[in-house]
Amino acid sequence: MRLKDKVAVVTGAASGIGKEIARTYAREGAKVVIADLDQKGADAAAAELGGAGRAIGVAMDVTNEAQVDAGMAKAVAAFGRLDVLVSNAGIQIVAPIEDFAFAKWKQLLAIHLDGAFLTTRAALRQMYSQGTGGSIIYMGSVHSKEASVLKAPYVTAKHGLIGLAKVVAKEGAKHGVRANVICPGFVRTPLVDKQIPEQAKELGISEEAVIKQVMLKDTVDGEFTTVADVAEAALFFAAFPSNALTGQSLVVSHGWFMQ
C-alpha cells in the first residue's frame, strides 16, 4: 500500500496507459480521479476500481481552462485533497511536415502542452494551499529525447514537457512538490494501433514492417513496452518520499533510447 490515503488525478485514464496507472494507484491504496474527454469511459474505469469512495470519473477536456478547473474542484470535493497529478492525456497524428495541416498541429500541441499547463496550474494551487507537497508526473515519450519522421508536433510537444517539468521542479521545491517525466517506448494501446496502418500507408511498407523496422527496430529485444511497465514507473515517482527525485525523466523503452 504505497499510496495509502493519497489522492491522484490521472488525465486520459479512460484508456491505455492512464487506465493502467489508475488501476495501479488504486491497488496501492490511492483514491483515484479518472479525468477524460470520454466521460462514459472515465465512469466505467472508475466503476471497475470500486466506484464512489474509491474512484470517480470526471469529464474533462484538458485543453479547456474552465473544464480543467471545474474537474480539479470536483476531485477535491470528492476526496478532500490532491497529492498526485499524472498529466497523461494525449493523441497522435502522423504526416510529413509539408502536408501537416496547421489546425492539426495546434490541436496536438494544445492537448499535450496546454493540457499539461492547465492541469499543473490547477494541481499546484491545491497542493500549495494544502501545504503537504505532492508529485506531478508528465507522460513524455522516447520522443521527448529522440525524433522520428512524420511526428513533428508530437516530438515538439514531448520535448516541451521536459522543460515544463524542470520549471515545476524548481518552483514547486519550496512547497515539497516534485515533477518528473516518464518516457515510454511503443506501448500497444489504441493510440499506437491507430498509427500502424497510417504509418504503413505514409511509408509505403507493410504493417508488420512498421512494427519490426520502425517501432521496435532499436529496442534491445524487439519487445513492446507494456502499460504495466509504465504504471510501475508512475508508481515509483508518485510514492517517492522526498525532493531528491525531481526534474528528471525516466525512459522505459526496452533500451530503444539509452541516456
Active site residues: 154
Nearer to ligand NAD, 33 or 62 (CB): 62
For residue 17, state whether it binds ligand NAD (rule: CB under 6 A): yes
Segment lying near ligand NAD (by CB under 6 A), choices 58-66, 165-173, 196-204, 231-239: 58-66
> What's the min distance (Å) between Cβ of 93 and ligand NAD?
11
Sequence letter at residue 255: G
Smallest gap from residue 11 Cβ to ligand NAD (A): 6
Nearer to ligand NAD (CB atom), residue 186 or residue 257: 186
Name the minimum Å distance from CB 99 to ligand NAD: 21
The SS3 call for residue 207 is helix
- 96 exposed, middle or buried (CB, 10 Å; 0-12, 13-18, 19+)? exposed
191 near ligand NAD (CB under 6 A): yes
At its nearest, how many Å lie between ligand NAD and the CB of residue 1? 25
Residue 106: how many other CB atoms lie within 10 Å: 13
Angle at alpha carbon of residue 11, lines to 6 and 16, rounded to 5°: 105
Element (H, E) at 248: strand 248-252
Asked if residue 38 binds ligand NAD (CB under 6 A), the reply is: yes
Choose which of 12, 71, 160, 247 interacts with ligand NAD (CB under 6 A): 12
Does 61 bind ligand NAD (CB under 6 A)? Our answer is yes
Residue 210: count of CB within 10 angstroms of its CB? 20
Q: Which strand (E) or helix (H) includes residue 31?
A: strand 31-36
